[in-house]
Amino acid sequence: MLDDSIITRYMPFERAIEFITKGEMYLARFDSFEDKLEGYAPYQLAKKLGIEWEKDDSKSYLKPSDRKKLLFASCWYNGEENLAMWDRYKSERGIAVQVRKMYMKDEYEHSRNDQFIATYERYDDLDPPALAKSYANEMQYLDDDEPDMSIKPPMGLLKHAAFKHEKEYRFVLRQNGMSNRIKASSYKFKIKNFSGLSATVITNPYMDSAITDMLTSYIDKIGISKKVNVERSKYRYLFEPT
């Protein structure tokens, strides 16, 4: 049984090192995601899927193409290590990082604006972008066979039910909709109380054991071994010669 107090992020080696040494979590802009239906409101996604849905006329809806430029997220697996998730990162020699869900959620949702570091495509010093909301939670899913008409997820926490197997947990950042002309290409969230975070780094099951030894040695050398533990994947035996 999966321990739901743990979330796991599979990421390229460099981003994993950045997270465990600097306490910085990368948030990608929604229009960079492979799923082209990201960033849709329930009404818009239902319409796209051919589902009859009652529109709330009291609300105004940005076009998905515009909203995607205002939404940013870091996507985690809601549970412990999963072999299917590794398949997406074996070519990048990715690393998995596990942390306590509620600690990260609390840090994220009680953060200040200055903990979000932006990379800009365009930036006007006289009119900096405003960050409207930051929130973290499980994804909700819209099933076109049995649609749940009561679904009302915060923006950026809705996907088609075809992705339900990913068991996704998300940290979402939304820029103010009035700042459309300012285009941040990505954000990094700086964990304020990083000293209180304990993490487990799991090396890719496709990697040679020497990588694990090297990473363990590096973490010892920079003095963070008390809060960061390094382990080899529990699936490594599937890929070792017998």
Residue 2, pLDDT score? 44
Q: Which residues contact 157 (CB under 8 A, 6 or more apart)?
A: 137, 138, 139, 140, 170, 172
Flag residues of the chain having pLDDT under 50.
1-3
Residue 101, pLDDT score? 94
Report pTM. Answer: 0.89
The neighbouring-strand residues paired with 73 are: 28, 172
Q: Considering only CA atoms, which of 98, 86, 140 is closest in space to residue 5?
A: 98
Residue 76, pLDDT score? 96
